[in-house]
Each structure stands twice: as structure tokens, then as C-alpha cells.
Amino acid sequence: MARNDYYFGWIEACLLYGGAFGASEKAIYCQRYGLSEPSASRHQVTFADHYQRASGVVFARSADGRLQGGRLTPMNELPRTPIFDSTPSLERWLEDCFSGTRFFNIEILREAPEPSIVRAIIRSIKTKTPLSIDYHSRRQNSRRTISPHTLIKIAGRLHIRAFDHSRNDFADFVLSRITKTTADVGSVFIDGHQDEAWRCQETLVVKATDATSEGVKLDFGLDASGSRSFRVRTPLVQYLIDEMDEAYSPPVRVMRRP
């Protein structure tokens, strides 16, 4: 990805979610990327040309061909799918532009892992040194030796995917449940390239129930048949599919594709 393409994803987000890239957006853009106003203006002009060629979107211009009002104002429909891979999600863009004023992200927060635990895991991944950890699972507390390879945030929690030396298999560990780490230089690090399950994907289906309203279908982006499918790595399926509880009736079902 070209360096400008990395920046351009944020400008595209302003068009997709806010409808324009003007003075207020440019000020945030400069602050976010440490750019001067002249640099941001050059980016804006280059973006307009690139985006118009890629998407067919035309921007409002004055008689001399300059961007009208020094801002990017689309004159026709924007593509639904972003052009740039670096375009941030709606939530990330709202946090950049409106956090604490006109956008609030309110959730029941899970306990964040201790920074010392995170440092040890990052160091383990970078140096390929196994870790001995104290881990609190749902059933018991135990001492494990692991070789971590990937961090994942799913269902509101941070996990690591790692080789569990005691079980001789790859498994997932919740970071907030790790209370102590020690480098285990006496063990051989097992690389994530050997994690065959991690390389596999499954198709999951989000499906409406008889009680699903039209509003809920819109929430989940369901099609005319009342379903939507997506791909996910096999070890993560367990965190996304429904484990039905008699006391809970969910608005939609998430299941493996038959």
C-alpha cells in the first residue's frame, strides 16, 4: 500500500459517513497524522483525482476546476464498498471526529489485561520464546507453558491463540485470566504456522427467526430471505455461534452453514 493510500482511507471515511471533507475534517486529519495544512490540501487534491478515476464519483468544482470551497463534496452516489483498504470503521471514525462530544461508545467493559502480561506476550511472539503462565480457566487454575502467535479481540475480550505444551495442541487463552508469566527458555517454541485449525475457515449464517422484526433484519444486514453469511477462522466459531438457553430468545440465530 502506498503511503498516501494509508492516509486516503480516512478521507474516504469522511465522505462515506459524513458526506464531505471540509475545514473541520481537515483539521482533525492534520492532527491525527501530524500533517501541515498545505500537505493536507495536497492530499485532498490527489485524493479527488484518484477517487474519481476509481469510483466515478464527481466532486463539486468551481469554473476554474478547483474544488469548490476548498472541500470535497460528492455530486453523485458514493460506492457502498470502500475503495481503500485503510478506510476505518464507522465506530473508529466517529471516535476520531466526535468522541466525548457527539459520540459516546457505552459498553459493559471487560477487565483489561495487566500491561506487564501484554508486554510478556508481545515479547514472546517477537523473540519466539515460550511462556510459562498462571491461567484461570472456568474449571480450574493451572500452570501452563504456551507458545503464542496471534492476538484476537472477539466477543468483547482479548484472547491469544497459542500452542499449549501441556496438551500438545493449539488453544485460545483469555488475556485477563493470565495472572503471571515467566519466560520458559528450556522449552522449544512452536510456531503458529503449525496451527492447521487457524488456517481453516468456516461459513456462518446469521438467520432470522419467526419473531424477527424488519428493524432487526436491518440491524444485522439480512437479505430478502432473512439471512446473511460470512467467513470466520474455525477456532473462533465457538465464540460466535448460538448456544441456546431456554430462558433466552435471541432476535436472530447464528449457526454453521448446513
Residues 82, 34: Cα–Cα separation, whole Å = 24
Residues 56, 76: Cα–Cα separation, whole Å = 9
SS (H, E, C) 111-127: CCCCHHHHHHHHHHHHH
Q: Provide the pLDDT confidence category of residue 244 given band limits of 50, 70 and 90.
A: very low
- Of 165, 194, 223, the one marking the end of a domain is 194
CATH code assigned at 164: 2.30.30
> Which H or E run contains 134?
strand 131-136
Q: Which of 5, 23, 33 lies closest to 71, judged by CA?
A: 23
Q: Are residues 7 and 79 in the same domain?
A: yes
Is residue 103 assigned to a domain?
A: no
Q: Are residues 93 and 119 in the same domain?
A: no
Is residue 45 assigned to a domain?
A: yes
> Which H or E run contains 25?
helix 23-33
Residues 143, 136: Cα–Cα separation, whole Å = 9
Q: Is residue 59 pLDDT above 70, yes or no?
A: yes
Give residue-wise pLDDT tens across range 156-193: 889 999 999 999 999 999 999 999 999 999 999 999 99
Q: Is residue 243 pLDDT above 60, yes or no?
A: no
Residues 189, 33: Cα–Cα separation, whole Å = 38
Is residue 52 assigned to a domain?
A: yes
Q: Are residues 178 and 216 in the same domain?
A: no
First-to-last C-alpha distance (Å) of the chain: 38
**For the chain, what percentages of helix, strand and coil (3-state, to nearest 5) are there?**
35, 25, 40
Number of domains in the chain: 3
Q: Are residues 180 and 208 in the same domain?
A: no
Q: Are residues 13 and 75 in the same domain?
A: yes
In terms of residue numbers, what domain contains 90?
3-98
Q: Provide the pLDDT confidence category of residue 251 given band limits of 50, 70 and 90.
A: low
Give residue-wise pLDDT tens across range 78-132: 998 999 999 999 999 999 999 888 999 887 777 889 999 999 999 999 999 999 9
Q: Are residues 149 and 215 in the same domain?
A: no
Q: Are residues 70 and 157 in the same domain?
A: no
Is residue 79 assigned to a domain?
A: yes
Give residue-wise pLDDT tens across range 208-240: 988 889 998 998 899 999 999 999 999 999 888
Residues 162, 236: Cα–Cα separation, whole Å = 13
- Residue 138: partners with Cβ closer than 8 Å, 6 or more residues away: none
Is residue 229 assigned to a domain?
A: yes
Is residue 106 assigned to a domain?
A: no
Is residue 234 assigned to a domain?
A: yes
Q: Are residues 12 and 62 in the same domain?
A: yes
Q: What is the mean pLDDT of the chain?
A: 91
Is residue 167 assigned to a domain?
A: yes
Residues 238, 220: Cα–Cα separation, whole Å = 19
